[in-house]
Amino acid sequence: NADVAMYQAKARGRNNFQFYAPSMTGEGVERLLIEAMLRRSIEKNEIYLQYQPQVEIDTGRLIGVEALVRWQNPELGLVPPARFIPLAEDIGFISQLGKWVLAEACRQMVSWQEDGLQVPKLAVNLSVRQFERGSVTLMVDQVLRETGLEPQRLQLEVTESVIMNTGDTLACINDLRAVGVGLAIDDFGTGYSSLAYLKQLPVQTLKIDRSFIKDISSDANDEAITVAIIQLGKSLNLSVIAEGVETAEQAAFLLRHGCNRAQGFYYSQPVGADELLAHWGRRHERDVAIIEG
């Protein structure tokens, strides 16, 4: 129909595509259509996950994967999460979507294990809106029980805005720790967290935002910020991982400054579950063969 066609044209015509037409008439209709499509996306099997490896820089070992949600709609094409996650939050669909993502990813961890690939850790993103209903701990606990994944192998990623929310959210974070799952602060350095607060929080990992990593070798400020975050992690006894590592130089820089964990296109794009198994499962066999031979 016309509204969807307009959206598609816009999506094709620009890098920075948007959901909403600028015209007063099209706007409301188009939004409603896309909302309706999003609400039905799970039942229509349009939602799936990709997994991006996290590696130890000096050994190249797989230390974990981050699950990243995808929406492939027949009319809209592949919609990036930066577009539909905020929409899912607005229309109250994020809890349902978040639960689906967590359950699917946990099932996949168990399934890889059955196929002989032990992925040490699973990272899953949680939206700040998932904390507002207060039931996030129950949901996580239920999914872990149903799938049989050990809580220590799950790490939930939240942004600084979640961390700095007072009241309920902090109580939720403490409850989640009691369940035994780990917590990471995603996109660290881009938000507003107080260092004093950070010290008290039950968080184990800082993820350096990829905006700092991007120009590490050419921008003195980004270099200084990255080194400072690594140091901060050391002093607070937190593990630090860099995201958005795209080059060998960036990886070498991180290693030199005491950060031995990375995630980014230099190692791998996010890939499907089978591809991850094919690559890292085979790699494992090869390692074993080398040891035996």
Q: Which residues bind Mg ion (CB under 5 A)?
A: 125, 157, 186-187, 243
- Which of Mg ion, ligand C2E, none has residue 82 at its interface (CB below 5 to 8 Å by kind)? ligand C2E
Phi, psi of 72 (to 5 degrees): -105, 105
- Is residue 53 near ligand C2E by the rule CB under 6 A? no
User: Is residue 179 within 8 Å of residue 206, measured between CB atoms?
Assistant: no
* Beta-carbon contacts of residue 34 (< 8 Å; ≥ 6 apart): 7, 19, 76, 87
| Token reading at 286 | 């090869």
Which part of the chain contacts ligand C2E (CB under 6 A), choosing from 3-11, 26-34, 124-132, 232-240?
A: 124-132
For ligand C2E, the closer CB: 142 or 247: 247
What is the DSSP code string of 166-197?
Answer: -THHHHHHHHHHHHT-EEEEEEETSS---HHH
With CB cut-offs between 5 and 8 Å by kind, which of Mg ion, ligand C2E, none does residue 265 bind?
ligand C2E
**Do the beta carbons of residue 152 and residue 182 sit within 8 Å?**
yes
- Work out which of 4, 6, 29, 68 binds ligand C2E, going by CB under 6 A: 68
Amino acid identity of residue 206, one-letter, is L
* Under rule CB under 6 A, residue 92 binds ligand C2E: no
Q: How far is the CB of 67 from Mg ion (least distance, A)?
A: 9
Q: Is 21 or 193 the residue whose CB approaches ligand C2E more closely?
A: 193
Task: Give the footprint of ligand C2E on residues 30-49 (CB under 6 A).
Answer: none
Q: Quick check: 69 binds ligand C2E (CB under 6 A)?
A: yes
Q: Which of 85, 172, 229, 277 binds ligand C2E (CB under 6 A)?
A: 85
Going from the C-alpha of 167 to that of each of 136, 154, 191, 200, 223, the distances in angstroms are 15, 24, 19, 14, 35
CB of 126 to ligand C2E, least distance (A): 6
Residue partners of 116: CB distance under 8 A and separation at least 6: 281, 284
Return the one option of ligand C2E, Mg ion, none that residue 172 interacts with (CB less than 5 to 8 A, by type). Answer: none
Query: Whose Cβ is closer to ligand C2E: residue 101's or residue 227's?
Result: 101
Nearest residue to ligand C2E, using CB?
264
Asked whether position 54 contacts ligand C2E by CB under 6 A, the answer is no
> Pick from 37, 62, 76, 101: which binds ligand C2E (CB under 6 A)?
101
Give ∠ CA 169-170-174 in degrees, rounded to 5.
115
CB proximity list for 233: less than 8 A, separation 6 or greater: 206, 239, 240, 259
Site for ligand C2E in 228-257 (CB under 6 A): 243-246
**Cα distance between residue 186 and residue 72, in whole Å:** 25
Q: Which residues form the interface with ligand C2E (CB under 6 A)?
A: 52, 68-69, 80-82, 85, 98, 101, 125-127, 157, 186-187, 210, 243-246, 264-265, 270
